[in-house]
A and B are shown apart, each in its own frame.
Chain A
């Protein structure tokens, strides 16, 4: 009996999102910025927001984020992305406006701007990369650096007597009436990356549904400045960072729950 050979169904299951450009990023091997970028691009694609999105890049390692996202972008001064995003969103309320900021940018020099954007309930989405260190300037102590952690500006380990304690942004921002969605996720393994993507999606939905300020904090790695290999860096997130920065939902508007 003759059998017709079955042609395997060929289907593209993984490709570059439309919201990404073709450029190779400048990020170090093992850095999780690439993953965070991709998750944002996938969500914008899936929600069909690319043509109305305006991104605001920060100062820090992701200063060139605008090169990698295939959409309108502006480049803010250090820490001022939420103010710049406010200006854009207030004159273009129908557009989707998001910032992408690191911990030095958002939790140190830009503390006032992020708190007041949340307090005003600005309808913007914030992607917050927390890797507990200043990457671009070469590994200095960040507001999120762990107690005891060695950096170039805390060479004997962060001494809490001298330089205080890590700042927990989700916990702070969750107290703001104007915040619609405040969560912390991690990028240290596949399961957590999938959870991070769901959160990013909800953070953009918060904006599209006009539910106020939304921020997803992503615990991220910096093997270069942590001076450990990429694999160890992922373990460092899980073992050292998560206990200080607990993962979870800090504020979720009721309307997002159904």
Chain B
């Protein structure tokens, strides 16, 4: 299929349909609503399930039920809505059924605003819901990547019986850019053996996240941890740009990584040997790759659209080998390439060791930038 000019949210939704999504349950929320609207048109046309739920709480529990029925199912929402879903997400994780959740992140905390943000990093990457579980988190940087990762998300969810988040931000959900949709996949003929479909000619299937006897819960926890270790071994994904000869590395994901690419190109023209490392799986985090980079560069700059969340994962992987600096915009503000270019110039010239708390140094610089009205 040829490339078309596609709007982010609609393209993501169509990608989900083509990946064989058989049930969508959601609730309107900006900036992800067009996903739901596309599903509302297309799913009934195809004889597939669509419900606009009464709340995100209900939506995720509909996803939970339909996932237990063995179908490819998903929801899409945006930050505050995802917070409401956390109860159900924990239950889905505890029941070990597959589900795909798209989070088109916006500025927060609280009601915040509807502008693009990466402020849900902790909530997505570290779990968000209660209890011991590990979601897989895919972070696309373009409409095309989001399309591709939604298909991948279903495959990973089913392979590992795991939650998979695809986290975009308001930029990607709302922008239009050329991208190619995959062909329509055939739906599976038979449900998986574990699904609840009616106990005909077999023993009943019981799907639950309750293990009232703590040693039984611990056995489940051990299974989940081992599965996660397997995922860490097999599923790390990342992208590199001009990293071969880099003396400085910028590390950023999603939109922040994409904006940094432009800045890096400009910095190279000035003779600064800088490259981009862009994690695609935020969980599992590419720890070894970041550690390896820290052995060959002089300094690392982490760029995010939040208060320095991935920064902590990067710092943990770097283990103090080189200074790790930070630059972020928050509250729904997307950084401009020249802001990041200024930061690259500063970092390349900086010989000082970085205070253990890179956040403290950054916030002082950011206050200056904000005071200057940039």
Contact = CB atoms under 8 A, between A and B. Distances in A.
Interface of A: 50-54, 56-57, 63, 66-67, 69-77, 80, 83-88, 90-92, 95, 112-113, 115-116, 120
A88 B68 contact: yes
B50 to A, nearest CB: 8
A72 B208 CA distance: 11
Nearest to B191: A92
A72 B196 contact: yes
Nearest to A70: B204
Contacts, number: 135
Contacts of B68: 74, 84, 87-88
A115 B53 CA distance: 12
Contacts of B197: 54, 72, 92, 95
A52 B71 CA distance: 17
A20 to B, nearest CB: 12
Residue from B197, B198, B210 having most chain A Cβ neighbours under 10 A? B198
Question: How many interface residues does chain B have, given as a range?
Answer: 35 or more
A162 B204 CA distance: 46
Given A70-B199, A80-B64, 4 more contacts: A51-B199, A75-B95, A90-B62, A91-B23
A28 to B, nearest CB: 17
B210 A63 contact: yes
Residue from A56, A57, A77 having most chain B Cβ neighbours under 10 A? A77
A203 B64 CA distance: 24
13 contacts: A51-B201, A52-B198, A71-B199, A71-B204, A73-B208, A74-B196, A80-B61, A86-B25, A87-B51, A90-B51, A91-B66, A92-B69, A112-B55
Contacts of A85: 65
B325 interface: no
Given A87-B66, A88-B68, A112-B55, A77 B199 contact: no
B66 A88 contact: yes
Contacts of A80: 57-58, 61, 64, 87-88
Residue from A63, A73, A90 having most chain B Cβ neighbours under 10 A? A90
A75 B73 contact: no
A123 to B, nearest CB: 13
A112 to B, nearest CB: 5
A87 B196 contact: no
Contact of B69 (A91, A113, A116, A120): A91
A-B interface, 5 closest residue pairs, ranked by CB to CB distance from nearest:
A87-B65, A75-B208, A83-B61, A87-B62, A84-B65
B355 interface: no
Interface in B26-67: 49, 51, 53-55, 57-59, 61-67
B209 A75 contact: yes
